[in-house]
Structures are given as C-alpha cells and as structure tokens.
C-alpha cells in the first residue's frame, strides 16, 4: 500500500511549520542581524561539507572492495533453464519511434527463454505515432502492447503501474526505451535472488552506464558521473545497508513485494528515488547487482537540462513526502539511516542549489581582498564558504576520477579534471527544477533519445 504520494508537495502541517520557521527567521534577522546570518551560513556550510564527505566515504567503501552481488559465468552455465520463472519486463515508451527497432533488438537478444518472458510495451493512448509504428511491425510473440489510458498525471510511473497490474512474472524489471541490458542480466538476477534467499531483499539494482561516452564533452562528464554513482556510490550504500535511491531503470523486483508496496508514485517525477526509500522504510532492502545496462548519454545541453531538472525536482518531492512525519520516519528507518536519507536525498539538492551562491561569494572573496568587503553579513563566514567550496570541488573531481578508474575509462580523466564546470551545469538544472516545483510539479519533461546515432565509436557499436 502506498505510504503517501507527491500529489501535493507540502501538506498542511509542513506549510504551517514552514510559515512559522520563516517568521522566526525574519524576526531573528531583524533583531540579531549579522549574528543570525553568520549562524545560518555556518549551519549551511557544515551541512554542505558533511554531505560531500559522506558521499566521499561511500565511494571509498565502494572503491576499496566490491560490495555488489557478483554472479560468476560458471553459475550461469550451470543454471537449469527449465527451473527459470516467468520474468516480466516493463518498457514504458513515449514518442520513441526513432529507437523502437533498437529497443526490440535489445530485448530480443536477452539470454532468457522467450516462452518465460512477459514483455509489456507500455504505450500512451495519446501517442498515435508510436501506435501506428507498432502496427506496421512484427513484434516477437512474447511482446504485449499495453495501451495506457490518458489521465492525469501523464508520467512514466503511472504507465509502469498499469504494467505492474498486468504483470505475470515472479520477477519484474523496468527498462527505458534506449536501454541495452547485458544479455545475461535476467539470469544473473534470478541466481542472485535465489542465492540470497532472503525475502526482505526486494530489489536488485543493476548498474547503468553509457554506450556513447566519446560523443562530446557533456557525454564524457555524464559518463564519469554515472560510473562513480553506480559503480562506487550505490555499492558503498549497499555495503553499509543504507537506503538506496534507485536508478530509473534496471531495477529487478520480486513482483509480489512491489505489488504489496503499491508500485510507483505516479505523481513523483523521480519515482525511482522515492521507491528506493519506500522499500527501505517498509522493511525491504535493495542490493546492487554486478551487471550493466547500457544507455545513451545525453549529448545535447538543452535536452540534458530538461532531464536533470526533472531528477532534482523529483528528489525534492521525495524528501518532502517522506519528511511529513519525521518522528515516524526515524522509528521506521533508525536514526543512522534517517541521517543517511538526509545526506543522500536532501543533501543532493541542497548542495546543488547553494552551489551558485557559494561560487559568487568565493569569486568575490578572491577578487576583493579576501572578502573583507563582506563584513556586513557574510564575513567571517566567507572564509569558511570559500574553503568548503574548494574542498568540495576537489572531492567532486576525485570521486569522478575514481569512477573512471573503476570502469577503466582512463581516457575520460582529462575532462574529469575540469568537472567542476559540469557541477555548475548540474546546479543550473537544479534551479530550473526547483522553480518548476511551484509552477509544474508533476510535469514530466521528455528526454529525447537517439541523439547519438552515427556517433558511436567502433568499440561502442559492439555493445549495441
């Protein structure tokens, strides 16, 4: 059963609390002036730095030892295929006619008995172009086209819930339209679930990476970020049994557990992050599976900004939803995991939103005699802000370098050394998502796929 959803961003209790806090802040700023602003800046700076250091620690945990579940080739070769269960694959697509053939080929090449595949191709009722394209194609007989009724909200998680209601598999995975999963990923998932033999493990998160990293500077930055996130950061969280915000695809579920949980929140535009937290607070756990799904790195800045703003907007929605009853959340998660949730979810969007402010203060600090002119409100915290930003950017570069090393993407390291510029772009997307939260909270900004066609290197084409 769904705990709560993002139909509204803040409930009445949160709004009242926010108004009270705003009033207290205004009063303190009037009566205490400089002292109040210094205290606020100190608090934000400490949280900012702790968030970065926590991420650094998680990445180190993931880098020092393999925390994910590893399935050997011999285990796959010795697998009795007659014992394999039915596996549901959800494929939500919307205006993806240009990569439809690639998607069908990618699913068709999965090494799993086709008579035990339950593939749901989820097509929006309003997407007549996709319906027309499908009517002209001969789909494999294990594909089932499901028309998603047109209703609010028009989001991917709503379509996935329709697919979940029709799922017949013991296990279920979701893939995006541009995904190319490792051929043996479903078998690895089944072996891993059986090896664990723990019903509290409800989800296995496979790793995501990109098949077009060399296309341009943006795809190089994006690939180094994903390599760090899925190969090091999430395995680090896995190793410490902390809540894991899921990726948007390649989540392998026990179907029964997912149905008990109520599926995805159709109003949350980062439904993957929300679902990972809901799994944890309901007593379930997520593990990371050592298998890769190859995706298309966004190569066009405007398209990338739309995607990033949606992700950050969804992270804010997730935090607001789960913080409606903080005391209850602490009871369900435990105090340590509650703080982990603050640092992984709230920490992500707070650092991104404050990044530009910190850059401005730091820039002035360097230009105007170490920030002495800021003695009104910011000095001496301008010194702290500057050092926090410099240290954080150094860590940001190091984390992405470690991600490249784990994936053996050494050719990406030169661009990674200037990745603080990428962090600035991420902050721009974060502010766009933040403002959109007040105007179009449930608007799903469509990410255009197929932009990498013709750009893959020889080595990348072999993946496809």
Q: Which of 355, 341, 349, 343 is nearest to 424 (CA)?
A: 355
Computed over every residue of the chain, the mean pLDDT equals: 92
pLDDT at 115: 96
Domains of the chain with CATH codes: 21-464 (3.90.550.10)
pTM of the complete model: 0.94
Percent of the chain with pLDDT over 70: 94
Q: Name the packing angle between helices 301-322 and 420-439 (round to 10°).
A: 60
Beta bridge partners of 121: 91, 145
Check pLDDT > 70 for residue 423.
yes
Check pLDDT > 50 for residue 463.
no
Residue spans of alpha helices (H) in 148-202: 156-165, 185-196
**pLDDT tens digit sequence for 114-133:** 999 999 999 999 999 999 99
pLDDT at 381: 72
pLDDT at 208: 98
pLDDT at 373: 46
Q: Which two tokens stand for residue 212?
A: 């077009």
456 band by pLDDT with thresholds 50, 70 and 90: low
464 band by pLDDT with thresholds 50, 70 and 90: very low
pLDDT at 279: 97
User: Rounded to whole angstroms, how far apart are CA atoms 255 and 257?
Assistant: 5
Check pLDDT > 90 for residue 447.
no
Is 455 in contact with 215 (CB distance < 8 Å)? yes
Average pLDDT over residues 250-261: 97
CA trace torsion 419, 422, 423, 427 (10° rounding): 180
pLDDT at 8: 93
DSSP string, 227-290: HHIIIIIHHHHHHTT---PPPSS-EEEEHHHHHHHTS--TT-TTHHHHHHHHHHHTT-EEEEEE
**pLDDT tens digit sequence for 181-220:** 999 999 999 999 999 988 899 999 999 999 999 999 999 9
Average pLDDT over residues 376-389: 72
State residue 368 phi and psi, 5-degree precision: -110, 70
Overall residue count recorded for the chain in this entry: 464
pLDDT at 386: 83
Percent of the chain with pLDDT over 90: 82
Dihedral sign from CA coordinates of 308, 311, 314, 320: negative
Check pLDDT > 90 for residue 354.
yes
225 band by pLDDT with thresholds 50, 70 and 90: very high
Average pLDDT over residues 47-61: 96
pLDDT at 450: 83
Check pLDDT > 90 for residue 448.
no
């Amino acid at each position: 059963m769904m705990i709560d959803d993002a139909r509204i961003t803040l409930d009445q209790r949160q709004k009242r609390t926010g108004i009270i806090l705003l009033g207290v802040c205004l009063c303190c700023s009037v009566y205490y002036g400089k002292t109040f602003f210094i205290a606020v800046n100190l608090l934000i700076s400490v949280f900012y730095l702790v968030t970065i250091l926590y991420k650094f620690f998680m990445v180190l945990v993931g880098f020092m030892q393999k925390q994910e579940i590893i399935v050997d080739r011999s285990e796959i070769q010795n697998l009795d295929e007659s014992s394999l269960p039915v596996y549901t694959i959800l494929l939500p697509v919307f205006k993806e006619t240009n990569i439809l053939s690639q998607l069908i080929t990618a699913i068709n090449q999965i090494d799993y008995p086709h008579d035990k595949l339950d593939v749901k191709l989820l097509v929006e009722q309003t997407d007549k172009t996709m319906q027309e394209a499908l009517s002209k194609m001969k789909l494999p007989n294990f594909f089932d086209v499901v028309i998603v009724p047109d209703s609010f909200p028009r989001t991917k998680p709503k379509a996935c819930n329709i697919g979940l209601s029709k799922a017949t598999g013991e296990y279920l995975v979701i893939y995006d339209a541009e995904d190319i999963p490792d051929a043996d990923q479903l078998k690895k998932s089944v072996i891993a679930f059986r090896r664990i033999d723990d019903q509290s493990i409800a989800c296995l998160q496979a790793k995501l990476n990109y098949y077009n990293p060399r296309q341009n500077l943006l795809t190089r930055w994006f690939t180094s970020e994903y390599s760090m996130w899925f190969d090091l950061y999430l395995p680090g969280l896995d190793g410490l049994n902390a809540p894991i915000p899921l990726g948007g695809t390649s989540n392998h579920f026990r179907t029964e557990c997912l149905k008990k949980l109520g599926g995805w929140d159709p109003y949350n535009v980062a439904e993957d992050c929300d679902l990972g937290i809901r799994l944890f607070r309901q007593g379930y756990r997520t593990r990371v599976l050592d298998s890769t799904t190859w995706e298309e790195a966004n190569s066009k800045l405007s398209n990338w900004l739309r995607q990033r703003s949606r992700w950050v907007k969804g992270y804010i929605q997730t935090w607001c939803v789960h913080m409606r009853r903080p005391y209850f959340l602490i009871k369900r998660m435990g105090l340590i995991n509650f703080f982990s949730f603050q640092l992984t979810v709230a920490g992500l969007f707070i650092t991104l939103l404050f990044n530009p402010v910190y850059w401005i203060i730091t820039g002035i600090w360097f230009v105007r005699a170490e920030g002495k002119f800021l003695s009104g409100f910011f000095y001496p915290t301008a010194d702290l802000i500057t050092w926090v930003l410099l240290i954080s950017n150094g860590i940001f570069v190091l984390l992405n370098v470690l991600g490249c090393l784990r994936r053996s993407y050494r050719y990406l390291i030169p661009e990674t050394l200037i990745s603080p510029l990428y962090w600035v772009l991420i902050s721009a997307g974060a502010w766009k998502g933040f403002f959109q939260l007040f105007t179009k909270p449930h608007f799903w900004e469509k990410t255009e796929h197929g932009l990498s066609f013709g750009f893959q290197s020889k080595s990348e084409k072999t993946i496809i």
